[in-house]
Structure 1
Amino acid sequence: MTTLTPILTKYWDRPDSFTRSAYEADGGYRALRTALGTPQDDIIQAVKDSGLRGRGGAGFPTGMKWGFIPQGDGKPHYLVVNADESEPGTCKDIPLMMANPHALVEGVIISSYAIRANFAVIYVRGEVLHVIRRLQQAVAEAYEAGYIGTDILGSGYDLELVVHSGAGAYICGEETALLDSLEGFRGQPRLKPPFPAVAGLYGGPTVINNVESIASVPSIVANGADWFASMGTEKSKGFGIFSLSGHVTRPGQYEAPLGITLRELLDMAGGIRAGHRLKFWTPGGSSTPIFTDEHLDVPLDFESVGAAGSMLGTRALQIFDETVCVVRAVLRWSEFYAHESCGKCTPCREGTYWYKQMLKRLEAGQGTEEDLETLLDLSDNILGRSFCALGDGATSPVTSSIKHFREEYIRHFETGACPFDEAASTVWAGEK
C-alpha cells in the first residue's frame, strides 16, 4: 500500500482552503442538503454501515454511539465535539480545523440533525487561539449562509452552534471532565454510569465525538457508506490522518486507509533522518505502549495494533532513533501525566507522582533492578483502578519500555549515570 487517500486533507495546500467560498467550490455543504432531506434514523444507520469508529483514540463505533441517544424522550439533545487535542504526539485535529474548518462545521450540522440535537458545542483547548478564531470565522460564515440558525435551508430544523474555549487541561480531553468544564465546574471525570448518552451536558442525552470523526461524516453522506467501508480493513474501516513526528525526514500528516504500516508511511516520509535508525515509536501517542523496529509491519488498525500489544489511539506516530534514551523519554512523559493528573482519585494522583520520582533516580543512574519491579507493581495498582483513562495511559510507556528495554534501564544504574548523555545532548537540548 503506497497510496494516500486525501479527503479531509485534500485542499490543505490551498491558501483560501479555510473559507466558505473555497469549501463550497469543492462541493462543500452539498452533503448537508442531502442529509436534511433524509430521515434522521437513515443517517445514523448509514454511519453505522460505514464502519466509522471514533478517531479520538478509543475507536468506539460512531453510529452505535449515536444510536444510544434515546428518542422521543422529550429532553433536549446535545452534540459536543471534543477538540481539546492534548495527547503528546497528537497533532491532527488542529491543522484540520485550521485548514478545513467547514468540513467540521458541516459535520456538526449533519450529526446534530441525525441525533435530533438543537444545540452543539465545539470545545477547543484554549492555548490554540488561532484555531479558535478560525473556527469562529467559519461558524459565522455558516450562520450567514443559513447553514446554521433557524429553519436551516427551509427544512424546519434549527441549530445553535457555539465554539467554546477550554482552559488548557489535559484531563478535559476525557469526555465527562469536558462536560463538567462546559458547565462551569472544575474539569474532573464523572462517575459512570450514567453515561453521557443518557445524562450528559446539563443532564440531557449527549453525543461526544472527536473532530476527525465528525469531519468525516459529510463525505459518508455524500459518497455513501459502502464507499467509506471500501477503505481500510474488515473491522477498521475507512481512512485516517496519521501524524508522523520526531526523527523522520518529512514529518507531517499522512491521510491513508487504516491498515497501512509504519514501514509504508516511512517510505513516503523519506525514512528515518539520515545516518540513523529506528529505535522505538508510539502508534497512538504517549499513552499507548511503545513499539520497536520489530513492529514496522504491524497493520495500523485497531485489531492488529491491539494484538501486537499496544493501541492505535490517535495515530500519533512519534519516531525516535538510536540517540534517544528510553528512560529519559519515559520520564518526560511521566512528568507530563503527573502534572496533568486532576488529583480526583488516589491511584492516578499518587501513582504518577511516584513514577516521576522513581524515574528521575533511574535516569540519573541511582536506581536498582528492584526498582523496576516496584515500577511494575505500581503500574498494576494504577491500571484499571483510576477514575478515567489518564491513569491507565500513564502506565503504558512505563510498562512497555521495561518490557522492550529492560537492559537499557539496567545500564543506567550499572554505569551510575545516563549512558546517552553525550549522544542526547543535541536531541534534548530544547528540553533542558
Structure 2
Amino acid sequence: MAAESPEKLLSPVLSAFWDDPTSWTLETYRAHEGYEGLRKALAMKPDDVIAYVKESGLRGRGGAGFPTGMKWQFIPQGDGKPHYLVVNADESEPGTCKDIPLLFANPHALIEGIVIACHAIRSNHAFVYLRGEVVPVLRRLHAAVREAYRAGYLGKNILGSGLDVELTVHAGAGAYICGEETALLDSLEGRRGQPRLRPPFPAVAGLYACPTVVNNVESIASVPAIIHRGKEWFRSMGSEKSPGFTLYSLSGHVANPGQYEAPLGITLRQLLDMSGGMRPGHRLKFWTPGGSSTPLLTAEHLDVPLDYEGVGAAGSMLGTKALQCFDETTCVVRAVTRWTEFYAHESCGKCTPCREGTYWLVQLMRDIEAGKASMADLDKIADIADNINGKSFCALGDGAASPIFSSLKHFREEYEQHVTGRGCPFDPAKSTLWADDTTAHLEVNA
C-alpha cells in the first residue's frame, strides 16, 4: 500500500460528492445512483438481505466493530412484537467528527440504509437519535426525510413493495452517556439516560421492551453501496477481517485536519502524508486511534494498520477512528487531565466505580499537573483506574481509565517530572521541551 499514490489510498463512497453545492438534496443523491441499492434490496427476501450484509463483512462503525449483519440476525422472528431500528447519531466522543458531517452533506445515504435495514429486520418504524446541539444538521435531516416521504421512499407501500416504514428524528438534550445504546433507548423512551443492566439485550427487549437493532450512522449509511455495488466490491477494500471503507477523523496539530475516507488498514503515516503532515516545524508525540476513550499511542505506532486487528495488537482500539494528533509541545499530563475531567462530568452516576472513581482521578490528576502530588500518587491513580476498568455498567468507565493506563505506560517519566519539578515542565512561551534529536527518526513533518 505504501507504494501507491495518495489518490489511490482514498476510497470516497459516502463522501464522494460532499463538495457538490447541493449534496444533501434528493436530486443530487439520485444523480449519484441513490436509492438503487434499495430497489435491489426490496427484490430480495429479508433473510437474504441479512445474509448478504453479513457476508460482506461490514462491521459496526460506532466503536466496537461488531458485525452488522450478525446484529440484525439476532432479532427474533415470529414473536408477534413490533421490531424497531434505532440509529445512534449521538456523536460525542472527543475527537470524533464523521457522523455529523455525513448527515449534513449526505443524509439520504442514511435514509436509504434505514429502509433497507427495516426491510431486513422486518421493522415498520425507525428512529434517528441526533444530538440536539447540531441544529443545522437537524434541520437538514428533517428536510431530507420530507423529501423521502414525498418521493415514496418512506411511508406506506415503499416503491410498491408493500413495505411500510415510518421514520422519526429525535433530538437529544446533549449527554455523552446517551451514546451508549441502552442509555439512548431510555432517553428515547422519555427517561433519564442511564445504561441498563444486561441481559436482556436490546435485540430481545430494547425500545418499548421490543426487539431492537441499534446501529451507528456510518454503519447504516454504508449498506446501500454494499447492496448496489456488491459484497465482493466491498471486500476488495480493507483487510480480510476488517473489510471495506470508512471515515477517519483527523484532528489536532496537523496541517490539514478533516475527514478522510479510506479502506480499513491504512496507516496514520499515510494519512499524514496525504494531509500535509504535522504542523510545520513540529513532530508527532502521541495520538489516539479512536477518540479519547482509546489507549493513546506514540510516534512508534505510525505504521500500525488502522483496522480492528492491527490497532488491537498495538494495545489500543480502533473505536470511532478519531485520530487526534498531538505534537511535542503538548503536556501529556495536561491532556489526560482534561479528558478525565470530561469523563467525570459526563458520568451518569449510576454505578459506584465510575461515579466515585472518575471524581478521584480528577483530583489526583489536577494535583499531579500542579506539582502537588507525590510519587505514590502515580501508583494510586493506576490503582483507581484499575478499580474502574471493566467494573462499571457501561464503557464510560473503561474510557476514563484508558488514557490513564496508556499515558503512564508511555510517558511515566513525564509524570515523574511533574512530581519532582513541582509543576509542569512545559514552558508555553517556548514550547520546545522534548524537541531533541533522540527521536528524529520518527519525524513526520510535511
Q: TM-score, normalised by structure 1?
A: 0.97
The equivalent residue for 2:242 is 236
The equivalent residue for 2:60 is 54
Q: Report percent identity of matched pairs.
A: 72
Kindly report which structure 2 residues correspond to 1:171-210, keeping only aligned pairs within 5 A, or say none. Answer: 171-210=177-216
Shift of 1:424: 8.1
Structure 2 Cα separation of the partners of residues 322 and 385 of structure 1: 34
Structure 2 Cα separation of the partners of residues 423 and 121 of structure 1: 50
Shift of 1:423: 4.6
The partner residue of 1:375 within 357, 377, 381 is 381
**Deviations 1:241-263, CA, capped at 9 Å, x for gaps:** 01100011110000000000000
Shift of 1:165: 0.2
Shift of 1:425: 8.2
The partner residue of 1:99 within 102, 105, 108 is 105
Unmatched segments (≥5 aa) in structure 2 = 433-446
Structure 2 Cα separation of the partners of residues 5 and 52 of structure 1: 15
Q: Is the 8 A contact 1:325 1:424 kept in 2?
A: no
**Deviations 1:97-153, CA, capped at 9 Å, x for gaps:** 000000001001111111000000000011111111111000000000010001111
The partner residue of 1:69 within 68, 72, 75 is 75
Structure 1 Cα separation of the partners of residues 245 and 358 of structure 2: 34
- Displaced runs of 4 or more, over 3 A: 423-426
Shift of 1:422: 2.2
Structure 1 Cα separation of the partners of residues 17 and 358 of structure 2: 42
The equivalent residue for 1:429 is none
Shift of 1:33: 1.1
1:386 matched to 2:392? The reply is yes
Length, aligned pairs only: 426
Q: Is the 8 A contact 1:302 1:312 kept in 2?
A: yes
Structure 2 Cα separation of the partners of residues 15 and 364 of structure 1: 49
Kindly report which structure 2 residues correspond to 1:358-373, keeping only aligned pairs within 5 A, or say none. Answer: 358-373=364-379
The equivalent residue for 2:259 is 253
Kindly report which structure 2 residues correspond to 1:219-368, keeping only aligned pairs within 5 A, or say none. Answer: 219-368=225-374
Shift of 1:415: 1.2
Q: Aligned AA for 1:419?
A: P
Shift of 1:281: 0.1
**Deviations 1:300-359, CA, capped at 9 Å, x for gaps:** 010111111000000000000000000000000000000000000000000110111100
Measured at CA, do residues 425 and 163 of structure 1 come closer, stay the same or move farther in structure 2, by a change above 3 Å? farther
Structure 2 Cα separation of the partners of residues 369 and 415 of structure 1: 12
**Deviations 1:43-64, CA, capped at 9 Å, x for gaps:** 1001100100000000000000
Structure 2 Cα separation of the partners of residues 66 and 161 of structure 1: 18
The DSSP-based 3-state class of the residue aligned with 1:286 is coil
1:82 matched to 2:101? The reply is no
Structure 2 Cα separation of the partners of residues 133 and 18 of structure 1: 11
Shift of 1:417: 1.3
Structure 2 Cα separation of the partners of residues 396 and 247 of structure 1: 22
**Which deviates further from its counterpart, 301-310 or 414-423?**
414-423
1:120 matched to 2:126? The reply is yes
Shift of 1:406: 0.3
1:400 matched to 2:395? The reply is no
Structure 2 Cα separation of the partners of residues 373 and 58 of structure 1: 29
**Deviations 1:78-103, CA, capped at 9 Å, x for gaps:** 00000000000000000000000000
Measured at CA, do residues 102 and 425 of structure 1 come closer, stay the same or move farther in structure 2, by a change above 3 Å? same
The partner residue of 1:411 within 406, 417, 426 is 417
Structure 2 Cα separation of the partners of residues 229 and 50 of structure 1: 6
CA RMSD of aligned residues (A): 1.0
**Deviations 1:140-177, CA, capped at 9 Å, x for gaps:** 00000010001111111101001000010000000000
The DSSP-based 3-state class of the residue aligned with 1:192 is coil
Q: Aligned AA for 1:73?
A: D
Measured at CA, do residues 358 and 424 of structure 1 come closer, stay the same or move farther in structure 2, by a change above 3 Å? farther
**Which deviates further from its counterpart, 214-223 or 27-36?**
27-36
Shift of 1:227: 1.0
The equivalent residue for 1:430 is none
Structure 2 Cα separation of the partners of residues 72 and 421 of structure 1: 66
1:9 matched to 2:19? The reply is no
The DSSP-based 3-state class of the residue aligned with 1:319 is strand
